[in-house]
Chain A
Amino acid sequence: MAPAAREGGRGPAAPTDGQPMVEMVDVRKQFEGNEVLRGVSLTVERGETMVIMGGSGSGKTVTLRLIAGLIRPTAGVVRVFGQRIDTLGEEELLPIRRRMGYVFQGAALFDSLTVYQNVAYPLHEHTNLPEAEIRQRVVHFLSLVGLGSEVLGLLPSELSGGMRKRVGIARGLAQEPQMLLFDEPTAGLDPTNSHMVAELIVQLRAGVCDTAVVVTHDLELTKTVADRIAILIEGRFAALGPREAVLASSDPAVQAFLSGEVRVTA
């Protein structure tokens, strides 16, 4: 399917060459006295998959939510698509968010809506496309995540965990995003589904959406999808760089974290 001509516009164009899709500069985030992020800096370039790893409560999801503008940093600067977002209000953030696809850990599907209505939601909201065209696109996006049209009428409660996750990805794709954000995409999935989701993230880079930020503690997923890896330990990036370099890091804290992960996922 050719890229959809979005009616109503999709906001400013992607950043020009050389400008990162995401740029975080010395970002801090505090929740009621508890400092979760203690000055993290990160860039995500167009066309790369950045994986942010860390233990539970290390601030991975907080980082992703900061990128999506769902929360504001206590200090520091967050730029997305070249635009500073940490100073914007909710209304001003909406067009920027429409250029991202966010896949939640628990899929966060609208539980009173069918699969079709969930995936079609952004199309109904932001376009004036005829229903037949929307249906065609929904079927297309579901096919990209390996689901057939037989699931269209099902409610989220009637789907397995893996299927819910895939419908969540399809809903994110329906925005035709320039960047995908994945929050623990394999959490709660069996090894087969985890592998399938990892393969899917790789496949999506070919023609659908080439930039992604993946938050995970799953080392196997990281090895499959990452171009670069950032490891969050105690609110700071203990390592940040190309996949091979980080995985081979001699930093004791990084090695301790990675070896712990290997034991968990083995």
Chain B
Amino acid sequence: MDTYLRRTVVWYGGVGMLAAQVLRSLALPRKYLGLVVVEVETMGVRSLGVALTASIFTGMVFALQSAVNMARFGAENYVGPLAALAILRELGPVLTAILVGGKVASGITAELGSMMVTEQIDALRTLGVNFIKRLIVPRVLAALLVFPLLTVMADVLGVLGGMVIMYFERGTDMWAYWNTTTYWVVPRDFLMGVAKSFFFGGIVTLIGCYNGLNTTGGTEGLGRATTATVVHCTMGVIVSDFFLTKLMLMIFW
């Protein structure tokens, strides 16, 4: 128990210290800016399929379930705003962060972890290269851009998915659905979700990087670190979502 507690404290402290190092190293030399573009492509473009498929089906199933159950209270007209609020405020940013975050962060852990066990990161250091600027900062900057963008796309497709399913399954008038939704949903609902995705992007990338940089125990350790990253990222998103939501409601509501 004592060892577990110690490991946990060390882990949280380590991620925090890595975040501080990243903040100190944010000013990248011009030759590293291309690395940010590469990471945007790796994280964003290659995750589009996962993020958008998940969001459209989530929007559809949410509308389907809501319609059936809200009809019991005579409130089927409000499925649009309910689905949109749920997607914009929670489902869009959280599902995107969990799905894309798990995929992206485990990939980062695998890559950095394998560089760690083969001493490639030490090789960078001996060549006088700031490995935080070379390996970590471009990934974090890319994530801060990619996660909000993916969330916006997921939001749009999720809402549209709900609307389409209501039209085909429940015969709802699409124009009425859209009008009710836009009447009740305000820009703040959308912006709160996007703002959270910004933090989620930073959190999952830092977790992926930290676990990669602290990989020990050869290939077996690499496997353990990659699995741990998926769990840590999922928990990190879910737990931080609560606190971010509470904070934002206190500040903006």
Decide if B118 touches A111 in the complex (CB within 8 Å).
yes
Cα(A101)–Cα(B125), bound, Å: 11
B122 touches A104 (CB 8 A): yes
Q: How far is the CA of A100 from the CA of B127 in the complex (A)?
A: 8
A257 close to chain B: CB less than 8 A: no
- Among B119-157, those with CB < 8 Å from A are 119-120, 122-123, 125-130, 132
Verify B127–A70 contact, CB threshold 8 A.
Answer: no
Q: Does A150 contact B (CB under 8 A)?
A: no
Check A108–B119 contact: CB distance below 8 A: yes
- B147 CB to nearest A CB, Å: 25
The tally of residues in B whose CB lies under 8 Å from a CB in A reads: 13
A47 within 8 A of B: no
Contact of A122 among B119, B122, B128 (CB under 8 A): B128
Partner of B127, one of A91, A105, A111, A125: A125
Q: Once the chains bind, are B118 and A175 in contact (CB under 8 Å)?
A: no
**Chain A residues numbered 77-102 whose CB sits less than 8 Å from any CB in chain B:** 90-91, 94-95, 97-98, 100-102
Closest B residue by C-beta to A102: B126
Question: How far apart are the CA atoms of A100 and B122 in the complex, in Å?
Answer: 13
Give the Cβ gap from B67 to chain A, nearest Cβ, in Å.
Answer: 50
Given A94-B130, A102-B122, list of 18 further CB < 8 A pairs?
Answer: A68-B125, A70-B122, A70-B125, A90-B125, A95-B128, A97-B125, A97-B127, A97-B128, A102-B123, A102-B126, A104-B123, A106-B118, A108-B118, A108-B122, A109-B123, A121-B127, A122-B128, A125-B127
Q: How far is the CA of A124 from the CA of B126 in the complex (A)?
A: 15
A98's partner among B122, B123, B128, B132 (CB-CB below 8 A) is B128
Chain B nearest CB: distance from A243 CB in Å?
27
Can you show 20 pairs from A to B with CB atoms below 8 A apart? A68-B126, A70-B125, A90-B125, A94-B130, A97-B125, A101-B126, A102-B122, A102-B123, A102-B126, A104-B119, A104-B122, A106-B118, A106-B119, A108-B118, A108-B123, A109-B123, A124-B31, A125-B127, A171-B127, A175-B127
Q: Is A195 an interface residue (CB 8 A)?
A: no
